[in-house]
Amino acid sequence: MPTELLFREDAYLRFARACVTAVGERGIELDATIFYPLGGGQPGDSGALIRANGERIVIADTRKGATMDSVLHVPAASMPVPEIGETLDLEVDWSRRYALMRLHTALHVMSCVVVAPVTGGNIVPDKARLDFDIDMSLLDAAKIESGTNELISRGVETETVWITDAELDARPELVKTMSVQPPRGAGRVRLLRIPGIDLQPCGGTHVRNIAEIGGVRVLRIRNEGRRNRRVEIALAS
């Protein structure tokens, strides 16, 4: 059963109320959620589902379900099991999610400083990386750091735009990430636009204004293979 993905319209929702639609071995499904499921290099959210009696069902992870737009809230070990139809208060682990949003948006900005095909990427709460198909000699940590921070300091508002599958097919240059093709089949694809900086398909959660990133530090640049030159960053503060 599809879940209404509230984080898509507003990534800043920390609390919501929803009804249980299914409970299975892999997790709890709700009619709506603020929990982002693992995807596109961004980890699934953690947090809690709170029952009317105050009991907390700690959620350790969030994954995509078997069908499009279904979301599985994965409880930590030995948590109480809710009933189908039960109303729960949702609470996302906000400090973790906000760090992921800032780092995620920072990767969009950095992908415009390092101009090369992206072959991989990953985000964890304290650091993030992109892999590029580029010659090592072209990667200079100081330049990447200052270039990214200069763009961040422009303080541009981010925008979500939707285009049809056909429009995306006609503009293949929008897809920088060779390893992750945007999901097709829903008829439309979600893009993140950072005006004057970046435009690419992305279903993740982003900050409203890139100034919220603050700034980044390049932690290291490593050779992970012929087509994977890895640039790892952290938030400056």
What does the binding site for Zn ion look like in residue numbers (CB under 5 A)? 192, 202, 204
Residue 10 Cβ vs Zn ion, minimum distance, rounded to whole Å: 15
Please check whether residue 43 is in contact with residue 124, taking contact to mean a CB–CB distance below 8 angstroms: yes
Pick 86 or 232: Cβ nearer Zn ion: 232
**What are 130's two structure tokens?**
């992109």
Residue 236 Cβ vs Zn ion, minimum distance, rounded to whole Å: 20
C-alpha span between 63 and 59 (Å, rounded): 11
Pick 120 or 204: Cβ nearer Zn ion: 204
Residue 27 Cβ vs Zn ion, minimum distance, rounded to whole Å: 24
Residue 73 Cβ vs Zn ion, minimum distance, rounded to whole Å: 22
Closest CA to 128 of 42, 61, 192, 55: 42
Pick 13 or 22: Cβ nearer Zn ion: 13
Closest CA to 128 of 159, 166, 102: 102
Q: What is the DSSP string of 109-144?
A: HHTTTS-S-EEEEEEETTEEEEEE-S-GGG--HHHH
State the first-to-last Cα distance of the chain, in angstroms, to the nearest integer.
40
Pick 49 or 233: Cβ nearer Zn ion: 233
- In this chain, which residue has its C-beta nearest to Zn ion? 202
C-alpha span between 44 and 153 (Å, rounded): 29
Residue 220 Cβ vs Zn ion, minimum distance, rounded to whole Å: 22
Pick 163 or 202: Cβ nearer Zn ion: 202
Q: In degrees, to the nearest 5, what angle opens at C-alpha 68 toward C-alphas 64 and 72?
A: 30
